[in-house]
Structure formats: structure tokens, C-alpha cells
Amino acid sequence: MVSSHYLASAAGNEILSKGGNAVDAAVATAFALAVTLPSAGNVGGGGFLVYHGKDGEVTTFNFREKATLAATERMYLDENGEVRDNSNHIGLLAVGVPGTVAGMWKAHQRLGRLPWADVVEPAVRLAADGFPSTWAMQNWLKSLPNRRGSLYDATREAFLKDGARLYDPGEVFRQPDLAGTLRRIRDEGHDGFYRGETARLIADFMAANGGLITEEDLALYEADELEPIHGTYRGHDVYAMAPPSSGGIALVEMLNILEGYDLTNIGHNSAQYLHLLTEAMRRAYADRAFYIGDPKFNPNMPIERLISKSYAEKLRSSIDMDLASKSDSAAFNRVFTEESEETTHYSVVDADGNAVSVTYTLEFGYGSSIVVPGTGFLLNNELGDFNAIPGRTNSRGTIGTAPNLVAPQKQPLSSMTPTIVAKDGRPLLVIGSPGGRTIINTVLQVVLNVINHGMTQSAFGRAIESPRIHHQWLPDITSFESWGFSPDTKRLFEQMGHEVSSRSGQGSAMGIFIDPETGMVWGAADSRAFDGGARGG
């Protein structure tokens, strides 16, 4: 059990020790993270779950947030066609109908073993009894006293002592309103969130403050069980999310391209290795931007072509081994919008060999920073992932193309990439990461570290900790983590024609490797996550 907060990992492990399976533990961890990791753990957001059973069954659950029934294509624009006051990211219009509770409920009803109340109970205890506030929360807590307006009154009450003073790191932080919300979810399941008191509190707050979510919007929300995106790479099966996540398609497309090269002999993180990764990233991210959106609104996406070996061969033929190609900055209809890097991922494997990979988010760190009075949880600002200005696309990153425009009940495009790699029908690697648009490339590099470079068993931590790069087609820049790459490697890479930038960190991968011969399970929590931890027993 590996997650971005050690207490959430402990909650999941507690459920495993009581005879729960991987889905039970995943549900417990999701709700525990809503308490201990308010920057991304949530009941007010959404995400994706990938499941691979010991019997070979593979399925996925989509619980991405949705636009409301009242949403419109131009809902964020003023009379001049400009985004009004950053309203697609800040305030109640940016809030999508949350999906996390519905997703956990649907996955548990299909595949869970223990009673629902048992798997939610650890989160109730954490919220009611409290846990030590951490250094990771300090910057956001310091911003709360300066947030103006009644929208943030309940946030201050929930996260500050007496609504005014910061909790010091290590000081016990209790959340009684969140405990009440979790008790309703524990006792009433799906309807404990989407109907009844919690739904009424959300809808009344929205109506009083200019938001759009109604009790009808909440009552209509259901998670979807979907077929996974399936690819193969060097004798391994790769299972990941289908749209509205772009992660599975892009990951399989890049692996298909890279399968044609001897990456092992080229050498891990050598200049030529990084060149080939960049060229694969460039092509997959261009396709991501041009083709992918909510499938219910984009029924003709060429998914089978994008993940085919023949298409990868065509793309590979356009790559020069020694010279960077250029992203076509004139083809602005392939630019895509920004995504926040504040997401969280966790991975679970149970004693029977069932595996679960979950990535979920509030969008920005701490989402909208808005708490509905009486509920204790933060709302997302996920609708910022839609294209806000129809028809306007330019080199600065504004996009107005059709696949990801706002529409009622539509889900915005995502980069979340929970992934399970299997060998001979059994899970081998359970992996995922936060990081916005970098997520797909972080997962790609961990998969390559395991399969091509043998970072397995006791070396699995290296697969998670190794330095990473990111390229997203536009802007035409490859970012390097600021540590771990030699100056010579960067110089040779730049001599191939690549432009380089530096970043402090990329993602925080949470992974599990299962030795196919011994069955031994190795978990690694990325040190890039301040409070991350692996638990098992």
C-alpha cells in the first residue's frame, strides 16, 4: 500500500489486515487522503481507478467531475469574449459535480469484499480524532487569513484554529464537519453524498453564491465502468485509462514508438535516450491535444489507430536519431490547456494478488479553496480543464478547439494515468503519479526503468526516484529536473537541436512491483512527496 500520506497508507493497510481486498483498501485510502492530504485527497473532486484481478479480470472506473446541467459553452466569457475574472479557475463557476464518492462506491459494489461502512470508518476516525498537521500544509494555511469574501468563511473555520490562527506542524488537526460528512457517506453510501443533507448543503450554498450545482446535478451523477486502454510493450500488457483521460492513449502510443529502439543498450538517461523519449513525447502529446476529449461528446475519436503498432511505426519513421524535430508552432489547433500538478496517486496490491491503481484530484492544490459550510471538505476547480474561449487558439496556450469545450454533463480532458503493467496475466507493476500534463511522461519513464533497465525488486526505488524529463509538444521545450543529469548529457542533448529548461521536481510516483517468480511485493513512495509512505504486512 503506497500513497502520498503515510496515515492514508496505514488506513489502507489496516483494511488489508482485516481481510479486505485491494479495492476495499483503495476505498479506505481515498477517504483517508481526503482527511490527511487536503491539497489533493478529496471527496469533492474526481479521478480514475484501474483494477487487475488475480483471475486476470481487468476493468476501470471513471469518476471524473462533470459540468452542470446549466453549463454553457461561453459561461466564462464577458461581453468582449474574454474570460471574466479568471472564473474558469477561481470561484464557484469552476466547480464540477464531484465524482470521488460515486467512483469509490461503484468500484466497491462491483469488487469489494468487506462491508462499505468498515472501509470508510478509518477516515471518519482520522477526521474526528485528528492527525498531526504537516509542514506541507503551511504555505496554503498562511494564505487563508488573507482570502477575502464570504466564499472562504467556512474554509477558514475548517482549517484554522478558531477560524483565524494557523495549526503548527505537529499540532493535532481535527475536522468535525468533515467527520460528519464522512459518517453520512459511511452510513448511506452513494446517497449519503449525492442526496440528503450533504447534497442540500452544497446546492443551497451554490444557489446563494452564484454557483450552478443543484440537487438534481448531484442526484444524476454516476461513475462509469469502462474498458481499459490496452497495449503491449516487450512482452508485457499495459492497462490504463480510456478517455476522458488522455493518459492511457498517450502512454501506449509512446511505448509503441519506443519499442522500435534498443533503449537498454542506448543507456538510461543518456543524451540519445532522452532525445528518443522527447521525440515520442512530442508526437503523442500533439495527438492528445488534437483528438481526445469526453467520448460521450466526441464519439469518433480514432483511439484504435492512435494505439496501434502500425501508427507507431509511421511516427517512428519521422524521427531522426541525431536531430530534434520541431513542434509545428503554426498548427495552433493542437495546443492544449494547462492542468494543475496538484493531484495524488496511490497503488494497492493485496495478499491474493489483486491490484488497484488510483489517481484523483481537486485540480489546483486545495482545489477551489472553497468549503461548503457544514461539510468540511474542499470543492474542486476542475472545470478549468475545459477550453474556455471557443475558437481562440494561439501559441501562448489558449485553446478553443471543439473536443474539450464546455457542455452540460461533459467531463473535461485529463492527463491522469493510473496504470497496471502485467506479465503472463498477472500484475507486475502498479504505478501512477500526480503532476498535471507531466503525469503521462512520469509514468512512461517509470515503466521504462522497470522493463528496459531492470530497476526491480530491491532496486525498484531507483525506478521511482530516478530523474525525469518532460516534453508536451508545445511549447517546444524539454524540461529537466534540476538534479541528476550531468552537464555533458544536457550539452549533447542541446546539440541535437533541443531547447532545455529546468524544473525543481516532476511528479511523485507511487508504485508497487510484484516479483513474478517469488510473489514478493516491493513498494516505493516517491521522496518528492513530503508525507508519502509505503505500508504492508
Cell of 470: 518532460
Cell of 88: 474558469
Task: Name the 3-class secondary structure at 1.
Answer: coil
H or E element in which residue 349 lies: strand 343-349
CB 9 within 8 A of CB 16: no
> DSSP characters for 399-452?
---GGGB--TT----B----EEEEETTEEEEEE----GGGHHHHHHHHHHHHHT
Q: Of the candidates 26, 49, 35, which has an alpha carbon nearest to the alpha carbon of residue 5?
A: 35
Q: Of the candidates 205, 170, 530, which has an alpha carbon nearest to the alpha carbon of residue 376?
A: 205
Burial of 30 (0-12, 13-18, 19+ CB in 10 A): buried
Amino acid identity, position 498: H
Does residue 169 have a cis bond before it (omega within 30 degrees)?
A: no
Cell of 133: 498537521
Q: Of the candidates 64, 37, 118, 51, which has an alpha carbon nearest to the alpha carbon of residue 382?
A: 64
Q: Is 359 a catalytic residue?
A: no
Among 181, 278, 343, 393, the active-site one is 343
Cα(first)–Cα(last) distance of the chain, in Å?
9
HEC secondary structure over 197-248: HHHHHHHHHHHHHCCCCCHHHHHHCCCEEECCEEEEECCEEEEECCCCECHH
347: β partners: 2, 357
Buried/exposed 380-389: b ≥16 CB within 10 Å, e otherwise: bbbbbbbbbb
Amino acid identity, position 486: S
Distance, in Å, from the CA atom of 528 to the CA atom of 244, rounded to the nearest integer, reads 27
Cell of 241: 485509462
Distance, in Å, from the CA atom of 452 to the CA atom of 172, rounded to the nearest integer, reads 45
Task: List the catalytic residues.
Answer: 343
